[in-house]
């Protein structure tokens, strides 16, 4: 069985525990922006006594258009994420797209994320599981938009077989026709039944796929996030930005940084009520 709770640096994620919040800008646009957001998240972690992991991508390899901004790349991106970790004390996470990225990323990041479209790629799962196990890290795997939640048990078993039982699963919506994602909140207890904590991705769940760039409805993020916490998810993932309308990736989905504190308050209150602590 996978570990539950999962220790994420100074935090713990799992049944009967406070929410784990994973947040940050979609992509590393610049060191200045990343540090601005990270310092604010570290402040919220301290003042609100909440568990926050910083997330940003060094490369958005799955952009719709070849002309879209992808990020600074592996080497420079990891340098910036290491600075975030060292200056804020927050655990950091990023996504990897190729097996060769797993080992260098695992040396910097406490959590490595396997994107939804790549969750069935055994070579990638193997590389991430082995690298995170060597470096004392954790795997988070996003449920693909095209599979049933029951099928995620196979990903968990792969991670365990390749040496790492510290696995977080993430619900991020299911494709319903063309250009629509829907959330079946039964996915949360179904995936929790495999033993792993389950994270709800509140911002990618409001994406509107299609066209040259992906759209989204950030105004719907609070509704879905509250519903997921009410259904018992163990953590919530947000992408956040000081000015989402000017963001270089996923702006329509990201929560404005100024609005995040109120949403955190709502979700922590819900979690306390449901868990009874």
The DSSP line for 153-213 is: HHHHHHHHHTT---EEEEE--EE-SSS-EE--TTHHHHHHTTTS-EEEETTGGGEE--SSS
Element (H, E) at 111: strand 111-114
- What homologous superfamily does CATH list for 25-267? Aldolase class I (3.20.20.70)
Closest by CA to 259, choosing from 225, 232, 215, is 225
Can you tell me the distance from the alpha carbon of 158 to that of 120, in angstroms, rounded to the nearest whole number?
Answer: 10
In the block, tokens 């319903």 appear at: 176
Instruction: Delimit the domains of the chain by residue range.
Output: 25-267
Distance of CA 144 to the CA centre of its chain: 13
Task: Give the global pTM.
Answer: 0.95
Q: What is the pLDDT along the chain (277 residues), one digit of tens a residue?
A: 899 999 999 999 999 999 999 999 999 999 999 999 999 999 999 999 999 999 999 997 775 656 667 888 999 999 999 999 999 999 999 999 999 999 999 999 999 999 999 999 999 999 999 999 999 999 999 999 999 999 999 999 999 999 999 999 999 999 987 778 899 999 999 999 999 999 999 999 998 876 656 778 999 999 999 999 999 999 999 999 999 999 998 889 999 999 999 999 999 999 999 887 6
């Amino acid at each position: 069985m996978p570990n539950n709770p999962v220790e994420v640096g100074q935090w713990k994620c799992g049944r009967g525990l406070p929410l784990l919040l994973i947040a940050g800008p979609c992509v590393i646009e610049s060191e200045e922006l990343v540090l601005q957001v990270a310092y604010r998240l570290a402040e919220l972690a301290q003042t609100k006594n909440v568990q926050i992991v910083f997330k940003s991508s060094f490369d958005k390899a799955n952009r719709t258009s070849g002309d879209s901004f992808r990020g600074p790349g592996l080497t420079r991106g990891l340098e910036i994420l290491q600075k975030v970790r060292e200056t804020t004390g927050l655990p950091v996470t990023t996504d990897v797209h190729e097996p060769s990225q797993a080992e260098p990323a695992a040396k910097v990041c406490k959590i490595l994320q396997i994107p939804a479209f790549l969750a069935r790629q055994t070579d990638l799962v193997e590389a991430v599981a082995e690298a995170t196990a060597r470096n004392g890290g954790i795997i988070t795997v996003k449920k693909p938009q095209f599979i049933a939640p029951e099928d995620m048990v196979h990903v968990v078993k792969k991670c365990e077989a390749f040496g790492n039982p510290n696995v977080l699963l993430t619900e991020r919506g299911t494709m319903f026709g063309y250009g629509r994602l829907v959330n079946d909140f039964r996915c949360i207890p179904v995936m929790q039944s495999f033993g792993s904590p389950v994270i709800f991705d509140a911002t990618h769940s409001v994406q509107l796929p299609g066209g040259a760039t992906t759209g989204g409805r950030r105004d719907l993020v609070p509704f879905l996030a509250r519903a997921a916490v009410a259904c018992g998810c163990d953590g919530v993932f947000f992408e956040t930005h000081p000015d989402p309308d000017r963001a270089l990736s996923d702006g329509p989905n990201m929560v404005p940084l100024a609005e995040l504190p109120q949403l955190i308050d709502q979700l922590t209150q819900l979690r306390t009520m449901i868990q009874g602590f």
